[in-house]
Structure 1
Amino acid sequence: MAKADKTATMSRLHSAARLARTALAARLLAHGFYAGQDQIMLALDREDGQTPGNLAGRLGVRPPTITKTINRLQAQGFLEKRASNADARQAHIFLTDTGRDIIHAIEKSVKKTEKQALKGLDKKDQKALFKL
């Protein structure tokens, strides 16, 4: 593939990713979430009771960023912090019942956005995209 073709392809891919993020952000906002908060909620749905440091590592963000987001989600009633039984200085983050109840809406928002992003691509192109 020529350099100009690669550049054009990467530009289109970046544009598509930006549009998908914008669409997902709008869907999440309808449920009271901002970009990035969904990832914490889904990570806790997969494994509840993680530490902020563990969440930050898994999501590829810095600990101060995760702490701010956890505090916001806690203020909204979606999460709660509990001190570790082994070390009271260590907190573990858990979904509240309200948090668990909203997981389906988050997953649905993600799936709708993925479906919209893949619309117009045949199975072969989708498979090639997933390999990236």
Structure 2
Amino acid sequence: MAKADKSATMSRLHSAARLSRTALAARLLSQGFYAGQDQIMLALDQQDGQTPGQLATRLGVRPPTITKTINRLQVQGFLEKRASDSDARQAHIFLTEAGRETIRGIEKSVRKTEKQAFRGLDKKDQKALSKLLSRIEANLNGGAVAEVDEDLELED
């Protein structure tokens, strides 16, 4: 691939990522969430009671970033911190009832954004794109390609 083609492809990759984040952020903002807050909420929906360090590792961000976002979500009434039973210095983060009630809305926003992004791509196209993106991620991480689940439920 020529250098100009690679540059154009990378530019499109950056643009698609930015546009998908912008589209999702707009949907989430209407529910009172800012960028990144949804990821913490969804991670806690999958496994409630994680520590800020566990959340940071899981989401691939720095602990200070997680702490700021957790504090904002706590002020909004979506999360609560509880001291660990075994180590009072360690906090665990839990969804509140209000937080649990917002999960379906977050998931709906994610699905709508996915549907918008993948419009016009059939299952085969989506699977191929997923494999290509896995390869790019692996190249940038310096690691092996994660296997793409052959039984993925992809929407047309």
TM-score bucket of the superposed structures, by smaller chain: over 0.9
In structure 2, distance between residues paired with 1:123 and 1:130: 10
The one-letter amino acid paired with 1:2 is A
2:81 alignment partner, SS class: strand
- Work out the CA distance in 2 between the residues paired with 1:88 and 1:57: 21
Deviations 1:70-123 (A, max 9, x none): 000000000000000001010000000110010000011011111111112233
Query: What is the CA deviation profile of residues 11-42 of structure 1, one whole-angstrom value per residue up to 9, with x for unaligned ones?
Result: 11211111111110000000000000000000
Q: Check if 1:94 corresponds to 2:97.
A: no
Greater RCO (Cα-Cα under 8 Å, separation 6 or more) = 1
Q: Which residue of 2 aligns with 1:117?
A: 117
What's 1:7 paired with?
7
* Range with bigger deviation, 8-17 or 44-53: 8-17
Q: Secondary structure, in 3 states, of the residue corresponding to 2:85?
A: coil
Give the structure with the larger helix fraction: 1
CA distance in 1 between counterparts of 2:77 and 2:108 reads 20
Where does the alignment leave 5 or more consecutive residues of structure 1 unmatched?
none
| Alignment partner, residue 23 of structure 1 | 23
Residue type of the alignment partner of 1:19 = L
Within 2, Cα distance between the matches of 1:21 and 1:6?
23
SS in 1 for 2:21: helix
**Quick one: which amino acid aligns to residue 37 of structure 1?**
Q
Give, in whole Å, the separation in 2 of the partners of 1:59 and 1:8: 29
d(CA) in 2 for partners of 1:120, 1:11: 21
SS of equivalent to 1:17? helix
2:68 is the alignment partner of 1:105: no
Separation in 2, partners of 1:130, 1:28: 24
Task: Give deviations 1:53-85, integer Å, cap 9, x for gaps.
Answer: 110111111111111100000000000000000
56-65 vs 27-36, which deviates more?
Answer: 56-65
Which residue number in structure 2 is paired with residue 129 of structure 1? 129
Secondary structure at 1:68's aligned position in 2?
helix
Alpha carbons of 1:66 and 1:102: their partners in 2 closer, same or farther (altered >3 Å)?
same
Corresponding letter in the other structure for 2:103: I
TM norm structure 1? 0.95
Deviation beyond 6 Å, 4+ runs, structure 1: none
